[in-house]
Amino acid sequence: MECYREIRVVGRGSFGAVHLCERRSDGQQVVVKRVSISQMTDSELAASCTEVRVLSMVQHPLVVRYLDNAVQEDALHIVMEYLPGGTLRDFLRARDGRFLPQQDVVTWASQLVLALYHIHSLNVLHRDITSSNILLTANHSKSRAQTLVGTPCYLSPELCDGRDYGRESDIWATGVVIYEMLALRRPFEAPTLASLVMQILRARVPPVSATHYDSTVHDLITIMLHREPKSRPSARQLLAHPALIAAVHAAPVTCFHCSEASYV
């Protein structure tokens, strides 16, 4: 890790810290996730090693890029691409109630579904899709997925019921993110976990603006946030949805090798 010069800490979690660093050889800014392994159980250490193997094995232009890893000073260091545009969550909060143009929502939604499709094609589940885990490029023309600490607002009904996590839960969470881009709020929010779970299980999904968004976008949300997992479309099916198909074909991605990447 002597190859990198630390600039500042950009995040912390139960695992350790995330640092913005500069590569000494060429000045490129990167993010280094430092995971303490001294107190890890065997299963936790195995999970961290699996994460590194998955990250190093696959790459995709719409997923935060893995660069390197090293074990040093009782810590696993994972070096990742740095995206300076911040998170989608922060970007939406800064909108201050101003709706995004439909084309922007559709473009970003298509990018999320493209990344998810290729993750799923490798039999990998993301398991933690939130707007705080979507990083933006500097000009906000493109978003990339990563993994951060989750939030219960994105839990699927089947998880609230204690059932197994599958690809359908990733579809639900992606639907929540797309809804958030449309409504500038999440569909289900509550002051306590118990009341949030009840909303997710029983409450009607609040409609998004019919003035700003057409029926194809409304249908996209409806099918992604279907409470029955088997009734939700797969990522592959979503790529052909009328709301997304034009943006999917316009996306600057012609060869797909998808991965899940993480800062935290």
pLDDT tens, residue by residue, 185-205: 999 999 899 999 999 999 999
pLDDT at 130: 92
The token duo for 186 is: 């999440």
Residue of 26, 90, 104, 128 marked catalytic: 128
* pLDDT band with cut points at 50, 70 and 90 for residue 254: very low
* pLDDT confidence of residue 14: 66
Q: How confident is the model at residue 47 (pLDDT cuts 50, 70, 90)?
A: confident
Q: Average of pLDDT values for 29-45?
A: 86
In eight-state DSSP terms, residue 63 is B
In the chain, where are the structural domains located?
Answer: 4-81, 88-250
Same fold, 4-81 and 88-250: no
CATH topology of domain 88-250: Transferase(Phosphotransferase); domain 1 (1.10.510)
The more confident residue out of 233 and 36 is 233
Sign for the pseudo-dihedral over CA of 30, 17, 120, 247 = negative
Residue 128 among the catalytic residues: yes
d(CA 44, CA 81): 24
Instruction: Tell me which fold the domain 4-81 belongs to.
Output: Phosphorylase Kinase; domain 1 (3.30.200)
Structure tokens belonging to residue 211: 């003035």
pTM score, whole prediction: 0.84
Mean pLDDT throughout 63-79?
Answer: 87
What are 117-137's pLDDT values in tens digits?
Answer: 988 988 888 888 999 888 888
